[in-house]
Amino acid sequence: MIRTILCIPLAIILLLISIPVLIVEKIIAKFNRRVSDISTTRFVQKALSLFLYAAGVRLTVIGKENIPRDQAVLYVGNHQSMIDPLVAYTVLPGPTGIISKMEVAKIPLVAAWMRQLHCLFLDRSDLRQGMKTILAAIDQVKDGISILIYPEGTRNKNEDETELLEFHEGSYKIAIRSGCPIVPIAISGTAKVVENQFPKLRKGQVILEFGKPIDPKALSRDEQKCLGVYSRGLIGRMLLEQKGIPVD
């Protein structure tokens, strides 16, 4: 409980410090968006790393060399905790927008920072607005901004981290229509830090693994329709291997 009590004021302090930084970044963006994208990303990564360390996250990163450095990509990951996107964001090499649920857009300063980072908000109850979000993500990828999504659509509360929910296929249109690679992400251990004893925080080891990129252009049309099933299988195997469970 002490860790939780300490992290709340730390989060508030970081947000307050970030206000003048955000103003400066918006000004820089008017003259050079690319410079602002890089400096904004690095500032947020440092702030999130500090917060996550205080929260008890001890992070091990595997396979970062699998991330293409010369183009934007679509990151797809399993989702078991509210801190999953925070953990992933600390190690992503370039500007990346996260597709988040619409409710997050109601958190004033957090939402302002997310928009500065090219994040998009998805209204899961409105199919038309959902498609607009996907089209906006496609445009961002074509403009050099990577996108991070969680195809399960919600946090997976299964006790066994390897038991994944269904991956929804719709969001894979971002990769198919933009032609960008898909980088699978397997994360484990975050539920033990937060979700399992919420609102308490508990120190724990988190493993974040990047798989080899999938090239949708190299797949047949039928295979492209099943990218969710395919990437779900890859991530499931990565999670099993993280736990030392043999995979056929």
Q: Name the residue among 219, 223, 248 with its Cα closest to residue 236.
A: 248
Residue position matching structure tokens 């929910």: 165
Q: What is the pTM of this model?
A: 0.94
Two tokens at 33?
């968006």
- Domain 58-242 belongs to what topology? Glycerol-3-phosphate (1)-acyltransferase (3.40.1130)
Alpha-carbon span 101 to 82, nearest angstrom: 12
Per-residue pLDDT, 6: 84
Q: Cβ of 8: how many Cβ atoms within 10 Å?
A: 11
ω into 181 cis (within 30 of 0): no
Cβ contact 114:153 at 8 Å: no
**Per-residue pLDDT in tens (0 to 9) along the chain, 248 residues:** 778 888 889 999 999 999 999 999 999 999 999 999 999 999 999 999 999 999 999 999 999 999 999 899 999 999 999 999 999 999 999 999 999 988 898 898 999 999 999 999 988 777 788 889 999 999 999 999 999 999 998 899 888 888 999 999 989 999 999 999 999 999 999 999 987 777 788 899 999 999 999 998 888 888 888 899 999 999 999 999 998 888 76
Q: Per DSSP, what are the bridge partners of residue 58?
A: 205
User: Alpha carbon of 29 to those of 98, 142, 144: distances in Å?
Assistant: 19, 19, 15
The tokens describing 118, both together, are 């090219």
CB 206 within 8 A of CB 48: no
